[in-house]
């Protein structure tokens, strides 16, 4: 699976957009980009995923660059409850021993402040 | 939709005893479930992949005789920590793979071995 690189921490003011970057320069053509978040002492929560097109759901938007080497998760109006560790993960798609396995890195600690 | 539950949410046991943790997909069927472990201030580490009706696949370094996994139905997987010791104290989290491949996580089980 492709590795991902994320900044260790970010701050955001409540009500503003939070833009979390992720680099995945070795991503393969059939690998998806998944985003999860983990609020303290809870299990990870699925946010969004995409292959090459931009995606949007009720939680966030995912912008994937045309070369697929990086992506940005956008929380349009951050709230205090969005404070969490955000994980960007490239998922092994088909075949191989890593098929379907999520490999969690250190993620980005997003702190939303008043 | 896509709700995963775990039971118990926390457990304290004496060293040498066994502890069983249940993971259930409440509103979908999951042929594949995963078990993770998370130590304080660290990221999630995959322990094993649980497939309904077949033996679990363990990650390197995880003792299959110590961490028994049973996936007897499409909505239930169990993890039994046998002869638990203080070093097994951790946050155990399961995930269930939905029909479209996305993993949904349970809330986690905090184990403390005295």
pLDDT in tens, A21-71: 999 999 988 899 999 999 998 999 999 999 998 999 999 999 999 999 999
State which residue of chain A sits closest to B102, comparing Cα positions.
A46
Question: For residue A106, what are the contacts with CB-CB under 8 A and spacing of at least 6?
Answer: A6, A8, B43
Contact A100 B106 (CB under 8 A): no
d(CA A20, CA A110) in angstroms, rounded, equals: 8
Tell how strand B90-97 and strand B32-38 pair up.
antiparallel
Does pLDDT of A112 surpass 70? yes
Q: Do B46 and A102 touch (CB under 8 A)?
A: yes
The whole-angstrom separation of Cα A105 and Cα A84 is 14
A interface mutation test: which of B6, B9, B43 has the most A CBs within 10 A? B43
Return d(Cα A23, Cα B33) in angstroms, integer.
Answer: 28
Closest chain A residue to the Cα of B58, Cα to Cα: A97
Tell me the C-alpha distance between A71 and A23, whole Å.
7
What per-residue string of b and e applies to A22-46 under the rule 16 or more CB within 10 Å gives b?
bbbeebeeebbbbbbbbeeeebbeb
Give the residue on B whose Cα is nearest the Cα of A100. Answer: B101
- 8 Å CB contact of B43 and A41: no
Cβ pair A112, A78 in contact under 8 A: yes
Nearest CB among B2, B103, B107 relative to A102 is that of B103
pLDDT digit of tens for each residue in chain B (114 aa)? 789 999 999 999 999 999 999 999 999 999 899 999 999 999 999 999 998 888 899 999 999 999 999 998 999 999 999 999 999 999 999 999 988 889 999 999 999 999
Chain A residues at the B interface, defined by Cβ less than 8 Å, are 34, 36, 38, 41-46, 49, 87, 91, 100-107
């Amino acid at each position: 699976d492709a590795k991902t690189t994320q900044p260790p921490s970010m701050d955001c003011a409540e009500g503003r957009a939070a833009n979390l970057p992720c680099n995945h320069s070795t991503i393969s053509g059939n690998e998806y980009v998944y985003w999860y978040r983990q609020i303290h002492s809870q299990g990870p929560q699925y946010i969004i995923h995409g292959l090459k097109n931009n995606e949007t759901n009720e939680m966030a938007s995912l912008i994937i660059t045309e070369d697929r080497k990086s992506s940005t998760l956008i929380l349009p109006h951050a709230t205090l409850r969005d404070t969490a560790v955000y994980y960007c993960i490239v998922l092994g798609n088909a075949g191989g021993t890593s098929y379907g396995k999520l490999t969690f890195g250190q993620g980005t600690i997003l702190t939303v402040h008043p | 939709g896509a709700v995963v539950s775990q039971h118990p949410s926390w457990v304290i046991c004496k060293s040498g005893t066994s502890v069983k943790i249940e993971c259930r997909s409440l509103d979908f069927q999951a042929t594949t479930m995963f078990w993770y472990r998370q130590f304080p201030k660290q990221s999630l580490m995959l322990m094993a992949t649980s497939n309904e009706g077949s033996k679990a696949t363990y990650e390197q370094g995880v003792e299959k005789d110590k961490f028994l996994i049973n996936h007897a139905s499409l909505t239930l997987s169990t993890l039994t920590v046998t002869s638990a010791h203080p070093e097994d104290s951790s946050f155990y989290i399961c995930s269930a793979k939905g029909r479209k491949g996305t993993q949904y996580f349970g809330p986690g089980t905090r184990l403390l071995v005295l």
